[in-house]
Structure 1
Amino acid sequence: MALMGNTADLDEAVENLLAAPRDLLRAELENLRIGPTHRNWARNLADGDREARLQVATALRTCHAVTVAPYWPRLRGFLASVREEHVRAMGEGGTERLLESLDRTLARWRPPVLEVHHPREADVHLGGRGLVISSAVFSSHQAEVLTFPGDSAQAPVLALPAFGTDPPPTDLWSIGDTVNRPLEELLGRTRTAVLEALADGRHATGYSTTDLARRVRVSTSSTSQHATVLRRAGLITTNRDGKAVRHTLTPLGIALLESGTPRF
């Protein structure tokens, strides 16, 4: 909702909601389908009733605590890897390369127009405001363009599904601890997660550093550093495959992972 502002902080979003202008609140409610039993309450909300706004704020906090907070550490790591890919694309070829690298099933760059696949047709003119590209983990496999009617200087936001048109990895929604506890105490949580991720590909060609970063949900640079430590310990091997490098478990790494404790 535009009335909560462009923020990643829940408390700030709630404060923006409570302080949002009445006209902006009414504009947001016009896009919602409200049943007959809730229309009186929605009318009070649109009229600026403080109690109705506080009820929405409480509902937002409760919803966040149940649907987002338990999974946020994993989601944040995954989003960091997606953002890193965008930064790398922009570093390689600027804005043109970044726009060309977007999932073509969601958005296509036809200079000077970025076409976004969406059921509703509309033209959004930036007018020098720029464009914010955001990765969404709760999207229903389609892009969204968010504008801020109350702030003509605010850059529109292009929200793209972080998983593209693919289903999201199921382990992102797991609350339980999937890391081998004895190994975590020995190697640390992230290095153990790297070994466990490599176990899925140990009979194939392994994983590239970027793929591994996605699975472990940490940055590529951090994954590379952990891989270096594991390689020096003889637990993984690293081989160059074109411009990328691929990591695989060694027999010692496999034995360590399967036993949960080192055997010398």
Structure 2
Amino acid sequence: MPQKYVEFRLASQDISTVRFGVSPGHEIVHAVRTLVRPQEQPLQWGWLRAVRADVPRDSLEFLRLVVGETGYAPDLFTSAPSWDLTPADEIERLRHAPLEPISVDLRKRAVRSAGVARAALERMAADPARIRAMVVRHVEAFWEVALAPYWAQVERILHADIGSRVRRMTADGLAGMAADLGEAVEWSADTGFDTVRVRMERHEEIVDCQGRGLVLVPSFFGRHCAVLTEPPAQPTLFYPALGVSEVWHRAGSTDALAGLLGESRAAVLVALGVPLSTTDTAEEVGIAASTASHHLDALRAAGLVASRRAGRRVLHARTPLGDALVHRA
């Protein structure tokens, strides 16, 4: 079967307005999907163990119906990412979301469903005011248990990812940064446009950004790239954030390793589950760059960390021995 792509075509004015954002709504969608299909999210099992017994079942089942288990997610939840968007802002936006687009979203979900689910979604699409109120109520209940206790940690990972991407863009240009967003993302300049191509399972589309730019949104819970292409929303690409694999066991690992390596050095080793520069490592751990460099030298000498050059940067990551030490802890 031919491969499908969504292509974001960027003119010069679009390139100058590429920006990053955070979407609590996108995280809600994929947190629901993680609870429904945990076998597909091994990186989130620590979170699953912590929350699944306490998540309100009625809220989970309602949101499962509205957002679906895979594929298309209603634009209602993802239409306005921004750097400083808070969960409270997101819920307030849902509270006042226009009714007609809600009906459109639910009909799209209905045609992608079957049987009882399809009939329920069609009934919901006919009464968007009632469904909007239900969405807000169930999102608030779900958020309070499943995400509120962990949001500061999640948000830190998302902002750290954005900081890393911005530095990469400064050093290697937009093309260099975009090519590193994920295996499904390609950068091309051979069609008369600068084009970001996103490999998709079912959807294909050419999006002329027409001066609207492109929003890049890291996701903590999303495993795959996703796109938002329909006006009035700005063209948006969601991609998996760096550093997710370590976050749920980080505190325990750091505590266990601190007696052996020292607190800061243990935190550096745990952070290097993904390649980081010295500056990124310092920001991730909350220490000075010179201190991070000293710890990296010591860990490298012990065979726990390896370093390699990537363009203008030197990236550090755990060796198999370092991995074994962290995961054993």
TM-score if structure 1 supplies the norm length? 0.65
Given that residues 158 and 241 in structure 2 are in contact (C-alpha distance below 8 angstroms), is that contact kept between their aligned partners in structure 1? yes
Partner secondary structure for residue 227 of structure 2: strand
Shift in Å, 1:179:
4.1
Cα deviation for residue 72 of structure 1 reads: 2.8
2:300, 2:170 → 1: CA distance?
A: 25
Whether 2:209 is the aligned partner of 1:144: answer no
1:66-98 CA-partner distances (Å, limit 9, x unpaired):
332333333333323321221112112432332
**Which of 198, 207, 227 is residue 292 of structure 2 equivalent to?**
227
Q: Which has the larger radius of gyration?
A: 1
Which aligned segments of 4 or more residues in structure 1 are displaced greater than 6 angstroms? 228-231, 237-241, 245-248
- 1:226–1:75 CA distance, 2 compared to 1 (3 A): farther
Distance apart, 1:116 and its partner CA: 0.6
Report the CA distance shift for 1:74/1:54 in structure 2 as closer, same or farther (over 3 A): same
Q: Which SS does the other structure have where 1:134 is aligned?
A: strand
Instruction: State the distance in 2 between where 1:174 and 1:247 align.
Output: 17
1:32: how far off?
A: 1.5
Indicate how the Cα distance of structure 1 residues 121 and 85 shifts in structure 2: closer, same or farther if over 3 A, else same.
same
Instruction: Tell me, yes or no, if the aligned pair for 1:3 and 1:25 is still in contact at 8 Å.
Output: yes
The alpha-carbon deviation at position 118 of structure 1 amounts to: 0.2
Q: Go from structure 1 to structure 2 and tell me whether the alpha carbon gap of 1:17 and 1:175 turns closer, same or farther (over 3 Å shift).
A: farther
For these two proteins, the number of residue pairs brought into alignment is 224
- The answer on 1:244 being equivalent to 2:309 is no
Q: Deviations over 1:207-229 (max 9, x none)?
A: 97637956x9x448846255268
Gaps of 5+ in 1: 185-190, 202-206, 249-264
2:88 aligned residue: 11
CA contact (8 A) 1:194 1:212 kept: no
Secondary structure of residue in 2 paired with 1:129: coil
More contact order relative to length (CA 8 Å, sep ≥ 6): 2
Q: In the alignment, is the contact (CA less than 8 A) between 2:219 and 2:240 conserved in 1?
A: yes
Offset of 1:247 from its aligned partner?
10
Q: Deviations over 1:137-178 (max 9, x none)?
A: 22233x1111353x2xx4211001225xxx951x42349655
Partner residue, 1:115 = 197
1:30 equivalenced with 2:103 (yes/no): no
Alignment match of 1:98 (pick from 163, 173, 177): 177
CA drift at 1:37? 6.7
Is 1:162 aligned to residue 241 of structure 2? yes
C-alpha deviation, 1:126, in angstroms: 0.6
Q: Summarize deviations over 1:35-76 as a string: whole Å, max 9, x none.
A: 5378457635643334x3222112112222333233333333
Q: 1:132 aligns with which of 196, 215, 233?
A: 215
State the alpha-carbon separation in 2 of the partners of residues 139 and 174 from structure 1: 19
Equivalent position SS for 1:116: strand
Query: Considering only aligned residues, what root-mean-square deviation do their CA atoms show, in Å?
Result: 4.3
SS in 1 for 2:108: coil
Cα gap change, 1:193 to 1:161, in 2 (>3 Å): same
Quote how far apart the aligned CAs of 1:194 are: 3.7
Query: Runs of 5+ in structure 2 lacking a partner?
Result: 1-73, 302-306, 319-329
Q: Are the counterparts in 2 of residues 210 and 220 from structure 1 also a CA contact under 8 Å? A: no
Write the distance in 1 (CA, Å) between the matches of 2:271 and 2:180.
28
| Matched residue type, 1:137 | F
Please say if residues 278 and 316 of structure 2, whose CA atoms lie closer than 8 Å, have aligned partners that are also in contact.
no
Whole-angstrom distance in 1 between the partners of 2:275 and 2:97: 46
Q: Secondary structure at the match of 1:101?
A: coil
Matching of residue 210 in structure 1 with residue 273 in structure 2? no
**Letter aligned with residue 75 of structure 2:** A
Residue 121 (structure 2) pairs with residue 48 (structure 1)? no
Partner residue in 1 for 2:266: 195
Q: Secondary structure at the match of 2:206?
A: coil
Name which of structure 1's ranges 34-43 and 24-33 shifts more when overlaid on structure 2.
34-43
In the alignment, is the contact (CA less than 8 A) between 1:238 and 1:247 conserved in 2?
no
Contact 1:45 1:53 in 2 (8 A): no
Question: Does residue 1:173 correspond to 2:248, yes or no?
Answer: yes
- The answer as to whether partners of 1:89 and 1:97 remain within 8 angstroms in 2 is yes
**Equivalent position of 1:80 in the other structure:** 159
If the length of structure 2 is used for normalisation, what is the TM-score? 0.54
Structure number with higher helix proportion: 2
Deviation at 1:238, TM superposition (A): 7.9
